Structure 1
Amino acid sequence: MFEPDPDCVVCVCHSVSEAEIVAVIRGGACSAEDIGERCRAGTGCGHCVEDLHELIEDFGPGAGGAAGGDSTAQEQGSRDS
């Protein structure tokens, strides 16, 4: 899994970088609307909304490993069942 690039601007309208968006996702945002509320990405022309969905898929809950949710907690939960 790749690390987000702080120099890659995803939302040109509001100058929001890939790294900023991933930080918002890791902070709990799980939809383009959540991201928009927290950092304004996706709230201008809308061209970047598909990129936001891809970043949520790559880094959001359930993505696994270091990129997304805590896989250790997920594994522990499945062992407790």
Structure 2
Amino acid sequence: MTTISFKISDDLAARVDATARARRTTRSELLREALEEKLALEDTADIRPTLLELAGDLCGKVSSGIPDLGSNPRHLDGYGS
């Protein structure tokens, strides 16, 4: 196992100590767990949700009244120009 040292504020140290006591664990174990959780979140941060996942609850909420609006080229004339 590798030993790493770093400096933290007195306030943060007090919070770490209080949390470790409350959980009946060591300061080192608490910090290892916190680091593992943080790194796991970083690993999944690159996986971005799709637009459908973000706005899925909105899909199909508004009707244009034109059933082939997205598939008929006639409705797309002038779009994007």
Shared fold, TM over 0.5: no
TM-score normalised by length of structure 2:
0.26
TM-score normalised by length of structure 1:
0.26
Larger Rg: 2
Kindly indicate which of the two structures has a greater share of residues assigned to helix. 2
Q: Which has the higher contact order (CA 8 A, sep 6+)?
A: 1
Kindly indicate which of the two structures has a greater share of residues assigned to strand. 1
